[in-house]
Structure formats: structure tokens, C-alpha cells
Amino acid sequence: MPSLFTSNFPVFCFNPYISQQFHLELVCFLCVQPVTDHFSSPQIDSYDVTVAEDLGEIQLLKIEKRKYWVHDDWYLRYITVKTPVGDHLEFPCYRWITEDKEIVLRDGRAKLHRDDKIQMLKQHRQYVMQHWQEDFMFGYQFLNGCNPVMIKRCRELPKKFPVTTDMVECSLERNLTLEEEIKQGNIFLVDYELLDGVDANKTDPCTLQYLSAPICLLYKNMENKIVPIAIQINQTPGPDNPIFLPSDDKYDWLLAKIWVRSSDFHMHQTVTHLLRTHLISEVFGIAMFRQLPAVHPLFKLLVPHVRFTIAINTKAREQLICECGLFDKANATGGGGHVQMVQRATKELTYSSLCFPEEIKAKEMDSKEDIPYYYYRDDGIKVWEVIKSFTTDVIDIYYESDEVVCEDMELQAFVKDVYVYGMKGNKSSGFPKTIKTREKLSEYLTVAIFTASAQHAAVNFGQYDWCSWIPNSPPTMRQPPPTEKGTVTIEQIVESLPDRGRSCWHLGAVWALSQFQENELFLGMYPDEHFIEKPVKQAMMKFRKDLDEIVSVISERNKNKKLPYYYLSPNRIPNSVAV
């Protein structure tokens, strides 16, 4: 079977909203027994290929053949491509494709050099290609992908990550040293330290799986784009843990980036998504059911935001993260690793990190002029503010003063329940034991509602867009990380990525997790009338009006964007963690 460029390296769309489907047909002869020159009858292989970007006019087609059998050469007559707009293009080849070979075809119309107006084609004539986009996409995901919480400003290079100006000089655009760039605030850091020493999945004795704990340095270039400039795959520096650079061999750099993406997948699934939305929401939900009677205004306020959360988490415990669950099947952190991760991350979990604006500020990612393309931050702050204003309105209806807050024993028992059972009474977590003011109460309820709705939406519904492209977020790695430069081959990369079975498990899971429910209740929709008082209904109406305004602002902002950001648009944020 001819191996199309997709054969081992599945090309899945990672953003269905801008994806396009192409239909390819390869007309070829497969040479089955070259010894007798016996050809199979001409055969036509059809492929549907989905790509995530607008490719514009198709000028070139590249086929890669890999050698699987001793005699698997084939003769390719031509390839036809049916484009999403219905054009049929023909790419003639009429050549043998033998061994491991790469062939680039141009469309059938004959062209002279002077006709080649498009720069890319001229470059093709010299066989020069540029891949600047990949690094940009890699950087972009730290801001607006499905795990936009890892990146922070670097004010001092950690000792364990000894990057020097010499190493990154060709990435720096301002004629400054690395230290000067750091001083100016142009350097960012992503550190997967939490994964250091976590056990990789050993549940399948036939496939060894690997984890690492990379550190990645990023640079804000002159166009204000954030791009990676150095990657160290493990925490401890040393000769067998080199710092990979964009100037290295392209496969070295690619594999280093894939390791970061794989680590990001684990942090995203287990910490950002599971612990910091699902489990936190459950803690608020359980405390609410245990301590607040159904007539309590805060029960009425919170109950729509914990709807189905305990049920979905129970299901997850039974099917996803249990022994022999999906996690064990496909994730390198399966077989116990994810439990270690949750335990470590729970220890470090703080109340202030759940207060969205504070968390953004703590990472020094708050300045809009400085970091203009951080839509997760911009939209998240807006949603946080209107939730805060809504909870303030409701609190003002029932609590005339801070004393009333202090004296509400049911409320205090609810807060204490979260602290004692959820946070195991850890004072340094910053979770309050009691609440003394209306202002603090409104912040507390905003944490509970924002985490269940907006934060969960931001990290849940992007999963199919970003994680279904396997090389972009490999749920497991089947080879250990490279320990030296200059040895990585494309074969090694393919062997490191998950096999087909694990890829399928993974795809099914991320797809299912990215779907809205039927009759989904989005933020601010409260069809169950827990409240009957008119002032509360007015507060709800104002809440919905504020949310609608955010929807318009976001949709205006997204207009004409190649990569729109819509996960925090309130009309896409469900009220509660239910998937």
C-alpha cells in the first residue's frame, strides 16, 4: 500500500472551526514482485485529508514513502485533489517511488521560471522551505490553547536551567543580551517541575512509556509574538540533558517541542482540568449539600453551578481514572502516575490561585499593552468581573452588613467544611476558615462559580481543537527523551509518538469531553426557579445582560481572526462542570 504522508503520522484536524476537507486520489501501480516485473492492476487509493488552516491555492503536494517491506516500490501516475470548494486539481508524477523517498509535485500546468510570481514556488525551485509557523503555534498555545495557565514572566533564570546569551542569540531580535531581555520583561518561562519523578505507566508490559519534566524558555519577539527559544527536557542540567534550541537540527528541536507538548497534556488533564476544576467544584458542591439548607440563599445561588458535578466525577472515577480505565489505557501518567500528580498539585493549591485576576497578576501576565494576544486573560477577567458583580448584588439583598455575614452560622459551616475536608485544614493554602465581610463573601462565591463555569469551559472545550492532533499533545511517549543532540531522526519521532491503538482511545476521549450537553444551561441561565424574590430576579437579568455584552465584544474581536478565541464567550460557558 503506498504510504501517503499521513500514514504513520496521523494528520487530524485540530480546529474544526477552521478546518477544511480535501479528497485525494492516488492512481498508481504497486510493484508486488519486481523480480518478475509483475504489476498489480492499476489501483486508485482515496484519502480524505483534513487540514486546520486555509491553505489558499494548492501549489505543491508532497508525498513521503516509507519502506515497510523489502519490495514495496510503486509507480505513481498522478494524484487528483478535490478541494473544499469543489475544484479538481491534477498533480502528474509518472515516476517510480522507491525506498524511503520524498517527492514534491507541482500542479499540471507548465510554468516557466518568470511565471513563478509566488515566492514560495521560487523557493521550491531551490528547495528551500521555511517553517516559521510551527514555533509560533507552539508559543500561541501557551496563551490561548486549552492549557493557558502555565506561562509566566521570567524575572530570573532558574539555576537548574543554565541558558546563556550565546545559545539563544539568533532568536533574540533586539540586540540585547539574555539578561537585558529578561530585565525588559521579554522572557517567559514554562516549567513542568511537578512531573519530576512521577512514575510512568507500567500497566502494559509490551509498551514502555515515558514521562519527563521539561522547562521551556519563551521570547516575546518584535511582533509581540511569543516563541520558544530553549527547551531542557529534564530538570537537572548536565551533559546528558542538553538544552535544545531552534538553531539545532530540525528533528532535535521538533522532538524537544513534542516532549513539552506531551508534558503539557499531562499537566492539563490532571492538574488544570481534573483537579483545578472538576475536583474543586465537587468540594464546593459537597460542602454546600452538607451545610446549607435548601432555603438558604447561597444554596439557591450555588446549586445551578454544581449541577451534575458529583455525578460526572463519580463516573470519571469509575471509568476514566480507575484501574484499567482510560487513563491506564492511553496516558503515560496512568497506572498511578496521575494520583501522584493530583497529590502533589493539591499540596500546592492555593485559594489566591483560584482568584482569576490575582493569579494572572502573580504570573506577571496582566499587562495588556505588554502581552496583547492573551485572550484567555482578557475574556476571563471580563467574565470574572460580571460574576463578581452578580454575587455582590445577591449578597447585598440578604446581608445588610458585614455583621450579618459573621453571624450566619450556616454560611460559616459551609466555608469551614471546604477548608477542613477539601483543603485538609492547611492554613498556608490561603483558603479562609471563616468569612467576615460581604466583600470577601462575594469573592468566595465568585471563585466557586467562576471555577465551575468559565475556568472549566476554558480548559475543557478546547480539548478537541488542540489535543486531537496527536503530535501536538501526545498522551504518551514510547521512547525516552534524547540525551544528545544531532541524533534524532524522523523515524525516532514516529516511534516515540503513541501507537495507533492509544491514539484512538485518546481521540475518542477528547472528542466526548469536548461536547456540550443537549439542552445545555449556559452561564446565567437559571430555569429552575429557586429564587422567587423580585430583586434577585432583577440581579439575574442584569447578570445576563452583562454576559451578553461580553458575547458581543468577543465576537467583534474574533472577526476576521484566523485563530478566533471563543472558549470564554459566555454563550459557550456551561453553568457547571458536567462533562
Ligand X SMILES: *[C@@H]1O[C@H](CO)[C@@H](O)[C@H](O)[C@H]1NC(C)=O
Residues that bind Fe ion (CB under 5 A): 460
From the list ligand X, Fe ion, none, partner contacted by residue 475 (C-beta under 5 to 8 A by kind) = ligand X
* Residue closer to ligand X, measured from CB, 394 or 467: 467
Site for ligand X in 503-522 (CB under 6 A): 505-506, 509-510
Site for ligand X in 252-271 (CB under 6 A): 269-270
| 274 near ligand X, rule: CB under 6 A | yes
* Residue closer to ligand X, measured from CB, 157 or 447: 447
CB of 16 to ligand X, least distance (A): 17
CB of 320 to ligand X, least distance (A): 5
From the list Fe ion, ligand X, none, partner contacted by residue 318 (C-beta under 5 to 8 A by kind) = none
Q: Residue 299 and residue 307: Cα distance in Å, rounded? A: 12
From the CB of residue 371, how many other CB atoms can be counted at a distance below 10 Å? 20
**Among 27, 57, 25, 63, which residue's Cα sits nearest to residue 43?**
27
**232 near 214, Cβ under 8 Å?**
yes
From the list ligand X, Fe ion, none, partner contacted by residue 426 (C-beta under 5 to 8 A by kind) = ligand X
Site for ligand X in 487-506 (CB under 6 A): 505-506
335: alpha, beta or left? (left if phi > 0; alpha if psi -120 to 50): left
Selected from 154, 326, 383, 394, the binder of ligand X by CB under 6 A is 326
Site for ligand X in 284-323 (CB under 6 A): 320-321
| 472 near ligand X, rule: CB under 6 A | no
**Among 141, 53, 133, 137, which residue's Cα sits nearest to residue 375?**
141
Could you identify the residue written with the cell 539563544? 168
CB of 568 to Fe ion, least distance (A): 15
What are residue 574's DSSP bridge partners? 522
From the list ligand X, Fe ion, none, partner contacted by residue 460 (C-beta under 5 to 8 A by kind) = Fe ion
Selected from 347, 433, 500, 545, the binder of ligand X by CB under 6 A is 347
From the list ligand X, Fe ion, none, partner contacted by residue 506 (C-beta under 5 to 8 A by kind) = ligand X
Phi, psi of 26, deg, nearest 5: -105, 125
- Report CA dihedral (11, 12, 14, 18) to the nearest 10 degrees: 90
- Cell numbers found for residue 219: 521570547
* Residue closer to ligand X, measured from CB, 270 or 576: 270
| 275 near ligand X, rule: CB under 6 A | no
Selected from 330, 360, 387, 579, the binder of ligand X by CB under 6 A is 330
CB of 190 to ligand X, least distance (A): 19
| 331 near ligand X, rule: CB under 6 A | yes
**Among 214, 239, 240, which residue's Cα sits nearest to residue 228?**
214
Query: What are the CA-CA distances from residue 402 to residues 292, 398, 444, 543 (Å)?
Result: 19, 11, 14, 23
Chain centroid offset of residue 148 CA? 7
CB of 447 to ligand X, least distance (A): 16
- Cell numbers found for residue 6: 499521513
From the list ligand X, Fe ion, none, partner contacted by residue 47 (C-beta under 5 to 8 A by kind) = none
CB of 37 to ligand X, least distance (A): 46
Q: Residue 452 and residue 280: Cα distance in Å, rounded? A: 8
* Residue closer to Fe ion, measured from CB, 391 or 460: 460
| 429 near ligand X, rule: CB under 6 A | yes
From the list ligand X, Fe ion, none, partner contacted by residue 482 (C-beta under 5 to 8 A by kind) = none
Selected from 98, 350, 367, 392, the binder of ligand X by CB under 6 A is 350
Terminus-to-terminus CA distance in the chain, angstroms? 40
CB of 572 to Fe ion, least distance (A): 14
Which window, 147-155, 327-335, 404-412, 516-524, contacts ligand X (CB under 6 A)? Answer: 327-335
Chain centroid offset of residue 139 CA? 11
Q: Residue 232 and residue 276: Cα distance in Å, rounded? A: 26
What are residue 46's DSSP bridge partners? 25
Amino acid (1-letter code) at residue 111 = K
CA atoms in the 13 A half-sphere facing the CB of 398: 23
* Residue closer to ligand X, measured from CB, 330 or 355: 330
Phi, psi of 49, deg, nearest 5: -125, 130
From the list Fe ion, ligand X, none, partner contacted by residue 510 (C-beta under 5 to 8 A by kind) = ligand X
Q: For the purposes of burial, counting CB atoms within 10 Å of the CB of 570, is it exposed (0-12), middle (13-18) or buried (19 or more)? A: buried
Interface residues with ligand X (CB under 6 A)?
269-270, 274, 320-321, 326-327, 330-331, 347-348, 350, 426, 428-429, 475, 505-506, 509-510
